[in-house]
Structures are given as structure tokens and as C-alpha cells.
Structure 1
Amino acid sequence: MKTKIAVAQGDGIGPEIMDAVLRIFKANDVQLEYEFVEMGKSYFDAGHSTGMTAAAKEAIEKYGILFKGPMETPKGKGVKSINVTARKVWNTYANQRDFRTLNGVDTVFSKAGIPINLTIIRENIEDTYGGIEHLLTYDVAVGRRIITRPGSEQVIRYAFEMVRRKGYKKLACGHKANIMKLTDGLFLEVFQQVAKEYPDIEASDIIVDDLCMKLVSKPQMFEAIVLTNLQGDIVSDLCAGLVGGLGFAPSANIGDNISIFEAVHGTAPDIAGRGIANPTALLLSGIGMLRFLGYSANAAAIENALLYTLEQGAHTGDFGDKTATPSLGTDAFADAIIANLGKLPADGGVFASSDFETGHHRTPIKNKLTLTGAHVVEEMIGVDVFVESNVQPDELAAVAKKSLRFNENFELVMISNRGTQVWPTGSIYTELVNEYRIRFEKKPGTSIKQKEILHIAADLSEAVKVCSVEFLMNFDGKIGYTLAQGQ
């Protein structure tokens, strides 16, 4: 029986490259059946705020696989990216992107004889991609960055298992825990904990700016790298540049129940309809999907045909030696791959093996809720109150102290501006904006309740505008908040 999947052609060049890829699948007798679903810009324009119809959502959740072309999110209309929304709604927590040197695709590294073969695993659900932002004042915008222990463990464990399947020996964790000590610190902590279960894999960590420098100077140092969402997004595009661009960068978004395989490059509206787009990235993504579905023989045959075609110098207009051979259009390039089915490249041929654990679609009966730390002792010790004010720090401190006149359990310990302490000590050279953080902590030997903390904010609101409130917590005696710069 054929396996049925949902297919979204995408916007711009999407329909052209999707048609080319599906023709290659058909020529290799891939046993897939397609239900084409409606997603993308035209459905935003038709009034679907999620960018997809109800029928599309139903089909994707029924089959558990979405194969999609590039999609555009309308700008300036207050709608969320359909690409990010799809990944988050269906909890495709691991974004796997494989980068390797391809014969016929010249780069500075291929010309230097330095082969690249590395995989980026990007956390796909959390981080700043929650899109939780607020204007606290006219001058100050904030975004909430969410990193969770269960979400980190999901993607990190996937990365270690992927390393084993691929036969790699090393996995690095890219992070910025030297600055974001709680968020990236949590991600790194989980990485180090999970690494203990994989003693056969060399686990290391590297600060992300150092990682970027090493990737553009010595990419052969790395086999696989796992990162948080935003950093993984940036680093994966950097890696695409190492191997020829996004036109050669496949993408798999893996979840426990639903997975998405897509081209991550843009919709290229300037060349849409001209028949000259490069289908390679979408084809490589489709090859990954075939492996995920268990069609390893088809995947190997199609990939070998692609590699042979590239090796022979065939190319679309965006790459290759245009003086040696003329550029091919989308259909002609696909026809060349079809004609080369059954042929093996002289270098870099692949076998019928899986880079993925074969997917098994399940329909849950309720939302999964993952909890950790059931035995962790929690203690509430204070509060950060964020306020709008245009007075000097000493003046604001006097106002803050007045809010404690009815509560002797707390004391004012610090005021900061843009993360830098400005009271009780600071520098006259620290420039200010009109949003402060006021930190109150309980006095030693006292116990407090949440209601008391909220009363502090309420009393403070009589004098200044309260923008936001964050509780200060200890977990098993370890503080769950950061100090201000200079504190």
C-alpha cells in the first residue's frame, strides 16, 4: 500500500520546484500518495489568520507528514509566520539540517580541498520564537525568552541519538551561557546531564560566537552541533553558506507525532513562473523524508542520481560553471536527474541506510504535559517590579521605600536600568531610559506569601506605572534569577 502524506506546494517558486521533485519521485516509483493542502500567503490573504485552512490542518494531523515548499508570511499585517506556527503547533522540536560538500557546487572550501560534512540540530519550539513581546514604555520593548528543561532534553537527546545513527563520534553544544546564565545555562546543564548517558560520543560545548568563527575558518572540526532556536537558526544559515547557499540546504522538522520536511530558502518571487528555480534543497529535504518513512532504497537511488548529475556539471542558473555548460531550467534539471537514476557518482555515493529513526504517527488523546523537579524545594524570596519612570535613581529609591511602609518583611536591595545597577551604587556615566527594575527581597528569617509580593506592586503603582512583575525564587537553595550588571 502507498503511504499517504500531506503536500503544500508553497508560494512563489514553490509549485515549480515541488512539481519537479514529485516527478523525480514518480520516475523512481516511490510508493507515496499525496493530498495537496492549502497553506501559505494566499490563504492569509483569504482571511485565514493561521495561514492554513481547517481541511489542511486536519489532513496533516491525520497523516503525520507534511512536505512543503517555501511559504511567505505577509508583512505588516500582524500575523505570525506560517513556517514557525506549523513547527510549534505540531511540536516538531528538532530541526535537523545536513550540510555537506557537493561535487559540482564550488565553494571556497571545495576549491581548497576541505570537505564539509556536518549536521546542525536546532531546538525548534522555544526561545524567542514564542514571539512574546511587549512595549513596556514608548521607548522600551521587551521579549520573553523561554527555555525549558523538558524541551531542551527532547532536542538534545534527539541529537545524541542522531549522532549514533549517522556513525558520528562528536557532538558539540553551541550556547551563550556566559551571558544568559539561566536560559542558555539551563540548555547547557541539560546537555551535560544527557551526555553522561552517551559515553561513546565525545561531547563538548562552545560559546556561539567562537563557534561561528571556527565554522568559517575550520568547519571540518565539527560533525554535529546542537543549539537553541535563535542561535541554531543563525548558525544553520551560516553553514548553508559554507556549502553553496540555501539552495543546497535540506531541512527536517522532527516531532514525536508529526514531522515536516521543507525547503527553508525563500519564495524568490522575482523568478517565480520563469521555470529557472533550483529544486535541489527541496529534493534533498524530500530524500530525508523518504528515509524517515522507511523508503531508504528510493532515497539512496534518487540521491545518487542527484550527485551524479551534479558531478557531470549540470546546474541551474544560480550555481555551477556557466562558461562550461549552459544553465538548465527547473524541469530540464529534474529531467537530467531522472535520466541518471540508477547511476552512481564517482565520489560520495550513498547507501540505502536511514539517517532518521523511522517515524510512527500517533494521535494523542490529550495535550502532553511534561513535568520535572517534583521533589525540588521552592522558596519565594522577593520580587522584581519593572516600572516606568523618568526620575533619577535616588528619587525612585525614595518612592520604592515608601511602598514598604506597611510591610516590614521586605527591603529594597537594588534598582537597575537596562540590566545595569544604578542604586544603591552606580556610575553617573550610565545612561538611562524610562524603565527601571526595582528589586525587593525578604529580610533574613522571615517567611512571605505571594499575596504580600503583589501588595508591594500595588502600593508602588500609586506612585509610578508598574509595567511587569517577576517573582524571585530559590530552587533547592539555588537562586533562580540573575544579578544586575555591577551588583
Structure 2
Amino acid sequence: MKIAVAKGDGIGPEIMDAVLSVFNAAKVSLEYEFVDMGKWVFDKGFSNGMTPEAQQSIETLGILFKGPMETPKGKGVKSVNVTARKTWNTYANKRVFQTLSGVDTVFSKAGIPIDITIVRENIEDTYGGVEHMLTRDVALSRRFITRPGSLQVIRYAFEMAKKKGARRITCGHKANIMKITDGLFLECFYEVAKEYPELKADDVIVDDLCMKLVTRPDTFDVVVLTNLQGDIVSDLCAGLVGGLGFAPSANIGDHICIFEAVHGTAPDIAGKNIANPTALLLSGLSLLQHIGLYDTASMIENALLYTLESGVHTGDFGDKTKPSLNTTEFAQAIIGNFGKKPANNPKPGSTDQPTSCTVFNLEENPMLESAAGASEKIVGVDMFIESNIQPEELAQKCLRHAGVKFKLVNISNRGTQVWPTGSKFTNLVNQYNARFESIDTTPLNQQDVIGLYVSLSGDFKICSLELLNKVGEKSGYSLAQGQ
């Protein structure tokens, strides 16, 4: 089987060479097609950080094994790491955090074992990167949470938890504040949970989750979160087991999967052959398991665990009274321990069941859309207006434009109601949200909204607008603070 390999930037080539030397010594039955991705590809004028040939190879082979990559700063280009995940819809980011003997942490010293799997939604949320300056003082980032996208990653998390034999699966969220977006994610979580009655499913508000993770991490098993919250929580969990140098990452999609270390390129030590390859090796083991090389992965992982347990280490961790090994020497130490098992938590062997990736020749983009349900209707519009006048004066001007189809319901500033009631102690910025609703709950159409927009634009600069939709009897919009 052939996979695509991108060595990466900074320490990437060194740690990738070390990992592949371990694979070769273990006689892993893989061929490698090296592809061009990373900062130097950006510098040659490819705005997505990869050559067209690299993209074609990855889409043909279906698996990418990559080292850390740098995105040039100040050039207006997007992260190649995020671009790759989003382009190929690797919707589930799986990171496994386990106590490793020889890697001392507060919890290992206290005898508290950690075995947490974080599943992070990988495509949506603020990582859409859709941002605008509405005024010179007000920036907007759009946060996309979709039902099909949420169901994809949540169903993956439940299926993975079932195969793992997990005792608990938890949804981390902020639905107490973001009732529409996180509320949709949480709703999808419990919808899928009904299909897995054998798993204990619960939810925790994300700030409470962080507190509990750093006080009792052993009580958690599998945790699924939205993109930004999952990014933060997964790095927090890395800190519980020794840092990002011990954090593997698998990005799972229906057609393409990416396996990578999530730490940086460490340019300060690049070329010195002293970097720790453990995170990339653990990511590579996830790759081997993904393609059915279970026994091979277990043999290599046991050798790694035995090596760590023996006190062998690179310069970034371990007993400082013992000399550290460089990257190449560390890989050779692992190879020398093939066939050995650690005293603590050895990995059981399992018969290899090698598989080949299915090559997908897609002729069009897959459309994710849930089944038709309750009818949708427009019941109003939020008009985001640039203005530095006071709320009462703004309201009087807006009222003149409401016409016979709209009523002005409220005006808010930064999400807090300032009209018809409010407080003089509320600080304002030069952008208001004027909410207009149908005067008699009669459904509106887009032409009605455009008419209101045209009328208001005679007095104001309209920065943006959002339709107020109702799905069945459920409002598809939030209330202002104090409304």
C-alpha cells in the first residue's frame, strides 16, 4: 500500500526520517510517495501551501502522513494545516492522551492514570475564517455550526468509543450562552446517543470541563467538542501527559485521512537532530491501526513504551541526571527494543488485517443536508447599522422606516439591549443591531427585507443583515441580553 508523506518544515524532516526508520526496521508494508507541502511551497507562490501534484497524489492515495508545517506570517495566506483538513473534509480530529511511564507529570507522580480521547470537530466553527470589519471599530467573525457536520463528527466519536470499549462519552459545550450554535451541537449529541444505549452519554459546560480535567482527569474517557473549544481542550490534555511532544493526532474523513504531530516546527532547534519524534511516531501508529496493521503497531508501541520506561529520553523531557539521546539515537533505541514489553500498560497484540484505501473518483462535491423537516419562514430581520448617535435618536429614525410590514422590536449594542429599555451605564460602540419583526406575524419574503434595507440606507450605512428565520414553531435566532 502506498501513502503520501510530507516531511514538513523546521524539525519536520528530522523527526519524519526517524519515524520512517522505525517503520522500515519493523518491516512495515508501506510504500511512500513524498509530496511537496509547507512554507517553502508557499514561498514559491502556491497560496494553499501545496503543489497541484501534491494535492493530486493525496487525493489519489487517500492517506497523508505529515510533519509539522509553518505558515508564513504577514502574507495573508491561510494555515496549510487547516486548509488540508478543510479541503479534504477530515471532519474528526482524534487525539489520544495517555500516561506514559518515564514521562513524569503531576498525575503520574500521584499515581493517577490518564487515558482520554478528545474528538474535535475539524471543519466548522470560527475556523471557517469568515471575518469582516463592519466599521473601523467593529470586527465580525462568523461561526458556522451545521447539523450535518455535527452529526458526522459525533457519530464518529460514538462509533470509536464503542469499538474502544469506552465507559463514558461526554459532550463539552457552551450551550448555556451560545444557545443556537452550541445548542445545535448538543442537540445532535443526544440525538446520536439514542443509537448507542450501551454507552453512558453526558455533557459538561466547557469551562467546568477544563476545571474537572485538571483536577480529576481520570474520570473522563471520550470527549467530543466543537472546533475551537476542542482545539483548546486538546492542548490542555496534552499538558496533563507531558506536553505536545507526546500528543498524536489523526484527522479522519470519509475519503481522505491525515496523520500528523500537532506541535510546532521548532525552528530554533531545526537541523540539530535533537527533536523528540514521539508525537509523530504515535501519530504514525494511529495510521498503522487505521489501515489494519494492528500487530505491527502494537509491537512498535510496546518498544516505545519500554524505551520510555527505561529512562531513555531526548533533551526535552526525562531525568536530567541521565544523558539525553538525539533524534536518531532515540529512534535506534526504540528499534533495539523491538519484541520487549513495558511493565506498565503493555499493548496487546492483534492480528494484522491490512486494508487498502478505496480510491474515490468524485465527479461533484458531496452535499451534506439533513432530511426535510418543519417548514422555514422569515419573520423579521436584524439590521446591523453603523452609527455613533444615542439609542433613542437611532430608534426614532428606524421607526420612520418600518412601514406597514415591520415593527421595530429592540435595538442592541454588542449583544446588550439599549432600546426600548436599557441603562446609561452600558458602553456603546459605533455599530447597533436594529431588530425588525413582522408586524402581525405574517411570513415575510426577501423582497420585503430588501425594501426595508433600501429605506434605511437613506439614513444609515447598513454593515450587514441577518434574516430572522423560524423553523416550525422554533425561533432560529437569539435574544439580546436584557430583551
Residue of structure 2 equivalent to 1:430: 426
Residue of structure 2 equivalent to 1:202: 200
Letter of the structure 1 residue corresponding to residue 358 of structure 2: H
Quick check: 1:350 aligned with 2:352?
no
Residue of structure 2 equivalent to 1:294: 292
CA contact (8 A) 1:182 1:481 kept: yes
Partner SS for 1:374: coil
- Structure 1: gaps spanning 5 or more residues: none
Match of 2:23 among 16, 22, 25: 25
Q: Given the superposition, is the C-alpha separation of residues 63 and 354 from structure 1 closer, same or farther in structure 2, using an over 3 Å criterion? A: farther
Partner SS for 1:380: strand
Percent of pairs with identical residues: 65
**Deviation digits for residues 204-224 of structure 1, max 9, x if unmatched?**
000000000000000001001
Match of 2:243 among 234, 242, 245: 245
CA contact (8 A) 1:162 1:355 kept: no
Letter of the structure 1 residue corresponding to residue 253 of structure 2: G
CA contact (8 A) 1:291 1:353 kept: no
Residue of structure 1 equivalent to 2:330: 333
- Displacement after TM superposition at 1:348 (Å): 1.2
- Displacement after TM superposition at 1:345 (Å): 1.0
Question: Structure 2 CA distance, aligned partners of 1:70 and 1:9?
Answer: 8
Residue of structure 2 equivalent to 1:443: 439
CA contact (8 A) 1:411 1:440 kept: yes
CA contact (8 A) 1:165 1:355 kept: no
CA contact (8 A) 1:137 1:435 kept: yes
Deviates most, 350-359 or 155-164 = 350-359
CA contact (8 A) 1:292 1:354 kept: no
**Deviation digits for residues 384-442 of structure 1, max 9, x if unmatched?**
000100100011111111222xx301111110000000001100000000000000000
Partner SS for 1:425: coil
Q: Cα RMSD between the aligned structures?
A: 1.4
Deviates most, 152-161 or 371-380 = 371-380
**Deviation digits for residues 357-385 of structure 1, max 9, x if unmatched?**
97743412221112114132112100000
Question: Structure 2 CA distance, aligned partners of 1:402 and 1:359?
Answer: 67
Question: Structure 2 CA distance, aligned partners of 1:215 and 1:134?
Answer: 35
Q: Given the superposition, is the C-alpha separation of residues 254 and 189 from structure 1 closer, same or farther in structure 2, using an over 3 Å criterion? A: same
Question: Structure 2 CA distance, aligned partners of 1:395 and 1:272?
Answer: 61
CA contact (8 A) 1:413 1:440 kept: yes
Alignment length, in residue pairs?
A: 482
CA contact (8 A) 2:3 2:62 kept: yes
**Deviation digits for residues 425-465 of structure 1, max 9, x if unmatched?**
10000000000000000012534221011111111111110
Letter of the structure 2 residue corresponding to residue 23 of structure 1: S
Letter of the structure 1 residue corresponding to residue 306 of structure 2: Y
CA contact (8 A) 2:292 2:352 kept: no
Question: Structure 1 CA distance, aligned partners of 2:450 and 2:170?
Answer: 43
CA contact (8 A) 2:294 2:353 kept: no
Residue of structure 2 equivalent to 1:63: 61
Question: Structure 2 CA distance, aligned partners of 1:354 and 1:217?
Answer: 38
1:378-397 equivalent positions in 2, closer than 5 A:
378-397=376-395
Partner SS for 2:285: helix
Q: What TM-score comes out, normalization by structure 1 length?
A: 0.97
Q: Given the superposition, is the C-alpha separation of residues 420 and 385 from structure 1 closer, same or farther in structure 2, using an over 3 Å criterion? A: same
Match of 1:93 among 91, 94, 97: 91
Question: Structure 2 CA distance, aligned partners of 1:447 and 1:305?
Answer: 66
Partner SS for 1:287: helix
CA contact (8 A) 2:293 2:353 kept: no
Match of 1:151 among 149, 152, 158: 149
Letter of the structure 2 residue corresponding to residue 334 of structure 1: A
- Structure 2: gaps spanning 5 or more residues: none
CA contact (8 A) 1:135 1:141 kept: yes
